[in-house]
Amino acid sequence: MKVNWLIIGAGYSACVLAERIATQLAQKVLIVERRDHIAGNAYDYYNEHGILVHKYGPHIFHTKSKKVWDYLSQFTEWRHYFHHVLGVIEGKKVPIPFNLNSLYALFPPRYAEKLEELLLEKFGFGVKVPILKLRESANGELEFLANYIYENVFLRYTTKQWELKPEELDRGVTGRVPVYISRDNRYFQDTYQAMPKHGYTEMFRRMLAHPNIKLLLNTDYREIINDIKFNRIICTGPLDNFFDYMHGELPYRSLRFQFDTLDQECYQEVGTVNYPNEYDITRITEQKYLSGQTLPKTTLVMEYPQPFVPGKNDPYYPIPREENRERCELYLKEVEKLNGSVLFAGRLADYKYYDMDQATLRALGLFEKEIAV
């Protein structure tokens, strides 16, 4: 087989790049994926009860980018959806991110009102404050509140998820779920929030439905690379794996998922409930909230964080720490030596904690700036 491009992986970055190359440049692409499906960690399917299930945990699409929204809208209809999350704190379910409504759910009304006044005076309304910044800048009653939120919302959840304390990670990690001085209970406030009407897998299937795109599943690219003629490679898999771990392994966190189907229409009040302090799980997501289906049964997915072990489980989250970034830099120097013959993109290949829209925007940018020129 002869193609212009060999693409390693079939997730967000790979599918976007394959579609752009095939349709805009009329060049041939072969996608090689070691799993038995496309869509990467966004893969979803209908289980035996007819419920659309996210195999690798909940993927909620949200973006501020009209460019990303318009691009993906070519391949899917959308079901508008605002995701809501509750966290169990001292036996009560309160909105996450922690906001003014959370304040009143946990504290006596007069004390909650006092804390609200202090927050508004110091930060203003509608402001998102990372927990570490709140702890550093707070004093008096706000210092109590900052420590309370840190210990009950962030500390144990972060330790379960990462096996590190919040301050041991880059600030951007805890900054993803800031304290929100607002009464907006939505988990995201982005302009565009929705779910692909027929699922992510169908969206990617449409994206790849082009005669210039060939797909090979259940295959490690190393098994066929000598049998394929190609001009250039795009790698969306782990950066360290591509270079045979010559500078050591880049650490990731992984997850184990447990699915349970209950003989009842609904189990939770919202799509996701976090358990920052109890149990070994971090959260439970009820799939039907994401799909909008009305069925007599409901399927839950429970998430158990665990270390990533190559060959035994899958890498999900790059661990954002300075020492890991320094090791990543060693690999980026190896990338430079390839002089553009191999391009890298995606959460694993860039070793960056991308959301889905960020991965899409990164792939579109790579195409425009380095491939289509």
Same domain membership, residue 175 and residue 52: no
Burial (CB < 10 A; 0-12, 13-18, 19+), residue 65, is middle
User: What would the DSSP string read from start to end of 35-96?
Assistant: SSSSSGGG-EEE-TTS-EEETTS---EEES-HHHHHHHTTS--EEE---BEEEEETTEEEEE
Number of domains, the chain: 2
Any domain includes 175: yes
- pLDDT the model gives residue 175: 83
Same domain membership, residue 325 and residue 244: yes
The CA-atom distances, in angstroms, between 326 and each of 86, 332, 335, 348, 354 are 36, 10, 15, 16, 19
- pLDDT the model gives residue 222: 96
The CA-atom distances, in angstroms, between 80 and each of 136, 169, 192, 292, 324 are 38, 33, 8, 10, 37
Any domain includes 90: no
Any domain includes 63: yes
Q: Is the peptide bond before 97 cis (omega within 30 degrees of 0)?
A: yes
Instruction: Work out the mean pLDDT of the chain and round it to a whole number.
Output: 97
Any domain includes 53: yes
Site of tokens 């191999």: 342
Same domain membership, residue 102 and residue 225: no
Any domain includes 236: yes
Identify the domain boundary among 127, 150, 180. 180
Confidence of residue 78 (pLDDT cuts 50, 70, 90): very high
Instruction: Tell me how long the chain is.
Output: 373
Domain around 176:
96-180
Q: What is the rounded average pLDDT of the residues 260-267?
A: 97
Same domain membership, residue 108 and residue 228: no
**Angle formed at CA 265 by CA 102 and CA 98, multiple of 5 degrees:** 10
Site of tokens 């490690």: 220
Same domain membership, residue 324 and residue 232: yes
pLDDT digits (tens, 9 = 90+) for 237-252: 999 999 999 999 999 9
pLDDT digits (tens, 9 = 90+) for 211-221: 999 999 999 99
Same domain membership, residue 322 and residue 227: yes
pLDDT digits (tens, 9 = 90+) for 286-339: 999 999 999 999 999 999 999 999 889 999 999 999 999 999 999 999 999 999
Any domain includes 258: no
Any domain includes 190: no
pLDDT digits (tens, 9 = 90+) for 348-369: 999 999 999 999 999 999 999 9
User: Which tokens hold the place of 16?
Assistant: 């976007």
Identify the domain boundary among 151, 180, 209. 180
Any domain includes 176: yes
- pLDDT the model gives residue 310: 87
CATH code for the domain in which residue 353 is found? 3.40.50.720
